[in-house]
Amino acid sequence: MQATKERLDRDTIAMRAAKELKEGDCVNLGFGLPTLCALYVPEGVRFHTEAGLLGYGRLVMSDEIDLADWHYIDASGRFCLPAPGMAVMDVLTSFAMIRGGRLISIMGGLQVSERGDLANWNTQNNALAGTIGGSMDLAVGAKRVIVTMEHNAKDGAYRLVKKCSYPLTARECVDLVITDLAVIEVTSEGLVLKETAPGWSPEEIQDVTEPRLVLSPDLRDIEL
């Protein structure tokens, strides 16, 4: 029974996602798990927020309330600090950065389909039941879209699916999915299983994944 086997915790998923970034990259970290990546990224990665900051500094911690300033908030609405080299811009410029492919986007997911469709803003067929913000712009426009999510829903339902049942954020936009079980690349041949969580076999991961997984020739344990 897979459920009893250990899955990666949120910090480990964030750590693995952060490994996709290198010095000089500009990245937008979405709400939730992706924000944790900020703790693990290499030196020289610059953070972007839709509200119009590029290259902001560290978050204000909860015991430093006096440093908090509404003028500096990150992509998740947390207080951050200005940093040397930071650029401030209006939203039109900020979204030209997003839509023009200057950024890497790491965002959460509810479902990813085998052709890379992403659903991550809503579980109902009602636009009022979810919030879009900049997620559609990021999914369509980012240079690279990395989705971090739990491999399965709490009730065990597939999140890697043949076709998304939730309303889409964007079609054919996801490049890489990092879950608590695997690292999976979206290719024209389908979903390629590249790395597995320790102790999980490709067959066990296939069992909790709806579409057929293609095994990478250099399939290995997740490396951090």
Partner 1 sequence: MLDKVVASFDEAVADVPDGACIAIESWGIPATPQNLIAALKRRGVRDLTIVTHTFIPMVWNEDDAALPSLLLPQMKKLISAIVGIQRLGAGAFLQEYVDRGLDVEITSHGTLASRLYAGAASLGGFYNPVGVGTLLEVGKEKKVIDGKEYIFEKPIRPDYAFISAHRADRLGNLTYRGNFRSDSPMMAMAARTTIAEVDHVVEVGEIDHEHVVTPGAFVDRVVQIPEGALGSHEKQTAMIHMLGQLESTRDLLFGKE
Catalytic residue annotation:
50
Closest to partner 1 by CB, 91 vs 224, is: 91
Closest to partner 1 by CB, 64 vs 207, is: 64
Distance of closest approach, residue 12 Cβ to partner 1, in angstroms: 17
Distance of closest approach, residue 114 Cβ to partner 1, in angstroms: 15
Q: Choose among 218, 222, 75, 47: nearest CA to 151.
A: 222
Question: Would you state the structure tokens that stand for residue 10, as one six-digit string?
Answer: 């949120």
Start-end of H helices in 86-172: 91-99, 135-141
Identify the residue whose tokens are 């980012």: 142
Distance of closest approach, residue 113 Cβ to partner 1, in angstroms: 11
Q: Choose among 49, 26, 56: nearest CA to 95.
A: 49
Distance of closest approach, residue 70 Cβ to partner 1, in angstroms: 4
Closest to partner 1 by CB, 171 vs 216, is: 171
- Contact present, 52 and 89 (Cβ < 8 Å): yes
Identify the residue whose tokens are 């790395």: 195
Closest to partner 1 by CB, 44 vs 77, is: 77
What residue ranges bind partner 1 (CB under 8 A)?
31, 49-53, 58-65, 68-73, 77-79, 82, 88-92, 95, 98-99, 117, 122, 125, 127-137, 140-141, 167-171
Q: What's the length of the chain?
A: 224
User: How far apart, in whole angstroms, are the C-alpha atoms of residue 102 and residue 217?
Assistant: 31
Long-range pairs for 123-130: beta carbons < 8 A, 24 or more residues apart: 123/166, 124/167, 125/167, 127/167, 130/167
